[in-house]
Amino acid sequence: MDRLYLLLNKMKYYFKIIFITVIALLGACREDDNSDLIIEREEPHNNDPGEPTPYTFQVPAHFSRIGAPFVPQDNPTTVEGVALGKKLFFERKLSRNNQISCASCHKPEASFNDPGKAVSIGADGTTQGIRNAMPLFNLAWTKITNSDFNWHGNAESLEEQALEPVVNPLEMQESWPNVVNKLKADPDYPRLFNEAFGTVDIDSHLVVKAIAQFERTLISGESRYDNYINNQSNGPTLTAQEIRGLQLFINEDKGDCAHCHGDQSNPLMTDFQFRNNGLDANPDSGLAAVTKNPNDIGKFKTPSVRNLVFTAPYMHDGRFTTLEEVVDFYIDDIQESPTLDGFMRKKRELTSQERADLVAFLKSMTDSSFTRNPAFRP
């Protein structure tokens, strides 16, 4: 009997091992699919932080209509890179006198725009820029190839775009060697660069890579309009007036805004094209300054029409204070010039009620959860 008892006990022991092994292996399977399980990681050594953690984009469900964000192969988005990029975005050491950061003209509470200013002021507090600061969101869907950033398309990528403001005499008025020296002398940055990029050897290219990673995380798609096109599944949607405005926005007979500013299949609300929208009879050079092609004179990037309530004044030079003025301009005041876009040469006829409906619709694309998102604050 004693012997049998011992054997049974042994059996129990081995069944326990089998049971634990099976559970552990099932768990291993689950780990791939599901991030619920906490994965213990070895503490990194001082100089070897290990591989950075891949970053998961927080994307509204209906953005699946436009596919995954475009991320350049040589700058994958990581948790550590995004955190570093955010710190750098709010870092005043990027300017000559340590007075302004990217966020000074791209304020998170204003959809990363400089509200109320037609043009922004440089680091010295007096020098004025020449173009309205662009709001920053949903930039991760600008194609990697054939993508042109800034109003006049002079930067090929987000990374390249971030190089320029630092040295622009109208903006941060600094030099990259100075910025790099300031960051190297900082108690935190060498460690943060090491975590994000595996090196303490900070240079301008790593700085802009980190900033671009942060900028790609700025995703905005939770307005009442989004609730409406997202099958009205969550939260308040559009009023009757706003729905009328949406129809005017799409209808080729009426506003015909959608050909350039997107529709319900394209939540970005831009076509990424450069167009002369008829602001002036003798337009600013625009894209032609980059391409040297006279056919591109007066062409500027089509901006997204999201979050407009945060970003007045409007147009590349901030000439219009209100959305009512913008809508009236497109209907009543288009200026002819040789490169004027065809869609602008079409006569639009909208009653005052229709104009009000259109403005109401534009204001429905307001995403306050984006402008209040603590993940985008320092």
Would you say 68 or 200 has its CB closer to other proteins?
A: 68
From CA 143, how far away is CA 215, in angstroms rounded? Answer: 14
Confirm or reject binding of residue 65 to other proteins (CB under 8 A). Answer: yes
> What type of residue sits at position 196?
A
Structure letter (DSSP) for residue 110? G
Residues 162, 172, 210, 250: which binds other proteins (CB under 8 A)? 250
Beta strands in the chain (DSSP E): 274-275, 300-301
From CA 84, how far away is CA 87, in angstroms rounded? Answer: 5
Binding segment for other proteins among 8-16, 87-95, 195-203, 219-227 (CB under 8 A)?
Answer: 8-16
The closest alpha carbon to 164, from 127, 207, 201, 111, belongs to 207
Confirm or reject binding of residue 232 to other proteins (CB under 8 A). Answer: no
Question: Roughly what angle, to the nearest 10 degrees, separates helices 204-216 and 176-185?
Answer: 80
Residues 16, 28, 61, 234: which binds other proteins (CB under 8 A)? 28
- Kind and range of the H or E run holding 8: helix 2-33
Confirm or reject binding of residue 36 to other proteins (CB under 8 A). Answer: no
The closest alpha carbon to 304, from 66, 119, 145, belongs to 66
Would you say 338 or 378 has its CB closer to other proteins?
A: 338
Residues 103, 105, 268, 358: which binds other proteins (CB under 8 A)? 268
Would you say 88 or 340 has its CB closer to other proteins?
A: 340
Residues 66, 155, 180, 243: which binds other proteins (CB under 8 A)? 66
Binding segment for other proteins among 21-29, 53-61, 103-111, 189-197 (CB under 8 A)?
Answer: 21-29
Confirm or reject binding of residue 252 to other proteins (CB under 8 A). Answer: yes
From CA 24, how far away is CA 226, in angstroms rounded? Answer: 42
Confirm or reject binding of residue 46 to other proteins (CB under 8 A). Answer: no
Confirm or reject binding of residue 21 to other proteins (CB under 8 A). Answer: yes
Confirm or reject binding of residue 5 to other proteins (CB under 8 A). Answer: no
Query: Which residues, 336 to 375, sit near other proteins by CB under 8 A?
Result: 338, 342-343, 345-346
Nearest approach, Cβ of 68 to other proteins (angstroms)?
8
Interior/surface letters 141-150, b for 16+ CB within 10 angstroms, e for the rest: bbeeeebbbb
Residue listed under structure tokens 């009236």:
328
The string of DSSP codes covering 265-281 is: T-TT-----EEB-SS-S
What is the number of other CB atoms lying within 10 angstroms of the CB of residue 37? Answer: 10
Residues 168, 266, 335, 368: which binds other proteins (CB under 8 A)? 266
Query: Which residues, 294 to 323, sit near other proteins by CB under 8 A?
Result: 295
Confirm or reject binding of residue 259 to other proteins (CB under 8 A). Answer: yes
From CA 254, how far away is CA 227, in angstroms rounded? Answer: 24
Residues 1, 2, 5, 32: which binds other proteins (CB under 8 A)? 32
From CA 205, how far away is CA 196, in angstroms rounded? Answer: 13
Residues 2, 5, 17, 351: which binds other proteins (CB under 8 A)? 17
Confirm or reject binding of residue 20 to other proteins (CB under 8 A). Answer: no
- Name the 3-class secondary structure at 309: helix
- CB half-sphere exposure, 165, CA atoms < 13 A: 32
Letters for 132-171 (x = contact with other proteins by CB under 8 A, - = none) are ---------x---xx-------------------------
From CA 340, how far away is CA 283, in angstroms rounded? Answer: 9
- The residues binding other proteins (CB under 8 A) are 7-8, 10-11, 14, 17-18, 21-22, 25-26, 28-29, 32, 64-67, 141, 145-146, 247, 250-253, 256, 258-260, 262-266, 268, 271, 295, 338, 342-343, 345-346
